[in-house]
Structure 1
Amino acid sequence: MPYINVKVTDEGVSCEQKQAIIKGCTQLMVDVLGKKPQTTFVVIEEVDTDNWGIGYEQVTQLRNQS
């Protein structure tokens, strides 16, 4: 019973994109480990960019610099 936790920044990921992530992660478990899709759990967590850091900076600040 695989449990896959995907974390992304909360920058407008659409419902369709989330469905594609769920489908792709599930298919990966089927293809690589032979797991059943019916018992494969995929959870997508959206993280505020203030709560995600790269190096010494918050992603919010990095995005504002671009």
Structure 2
Amino acid sequence: MPYVNVRVTREGVTPAQKAEIIARMTDVLVEVLDKDPRTTFVVIDEVALADWGVGGVPVTEYRARQHD
């Protein structure tokens, strides 16, 4: 019973995009590990941008630095 947890920033991810993520993650486990898709769980967590960091700084600051 595989369980996959995908975390993305809360920036307008659409229901269609979430459905595609769920389908593709399930397909990977079926193809690579021969898992049963009926017992494969995929959970998508949306994280507020203020709660996400990269490179030791909040993601908004990280992105601002990339444009400098």
- TM-score scaled by structure 1? 0.90
**How many pairs align?**
65
- How far the C-alpha of 1:39 sits from its partner, in A, is 0.1
* Equivalent residues of 2:22, 2:42 under 8 A apart: yes
Aligned counterpart, 2:37: 37
Q: Which runs of 5+ in 1 are unaligned?
A: none
Code of the residue aligned with 2:32 in structure 1: it is V
- Once the two structures are TM-superposed, the CA of residue 55 in structure 1 deviates from its matched residue by 1.3
Gaps of 5+ in 2: none
Q: Does 1:19 align with 2:28?
A: no
Report Cα offsets for 1:9-55 as digits up to 9, x if no partner: 00100000000000000000000000011000000000111111111
TM-score under structure 2 length normalisation: 0.88
Q: Give runs of ≥4 in structure 1 deviating > 4 Å.
A: none
Report the Cα distance in structure 2 between the residues aligned to 1:10 and 1:60, rounded to whole angstroms: 13
CA distance in 2, matches of 1:55, 1:61: 10
Match of 1:55 in 2: 55
